[in-house]
Amino acid sequence: MENEAAQAGAASNGRLTVTEVAQRLGISVKTILRWEKAGKIRRARRDWRGWRVYAPEDLEQIKGFFQTVY
């Protein structure tokens, strides 16, 4: 039930957490963070708490990079 609420929240404001992005792509959070640190993908924006937030365009950019690698 918590997971459904998190997905509904993401859908309503259009932003995704790093965990949600990783789940949608089938990769680990550490992989996304490693790519970000290496400069292979853009750094994520941060919300008021300092948490990474991704827009749908960010997800598409990461997905494109993922598809070229795998």
Over 90: is that where the pLDDT of 50 sits? yes
pLDDT digits over 1-47, tens only? 444 444 444 545 789 999 999 999 999 999 999 999 999 999 999 99
Q: How far is CA 38 from CA 35, 54, 57, 64, in A?
A: 5, 18, 20, 16
Structure confidence at residue 40 (pLDDT):
96
pLDDT at 48: 94
**Using one digit for the tens of pLDDT, what is the confidence trace for 52-66?**
999 999 999 999 999
Which domains are delineated in the chain?
A: 2-69 (1.10.1660.10)
CB 53 within 8 A of CB 44: yes
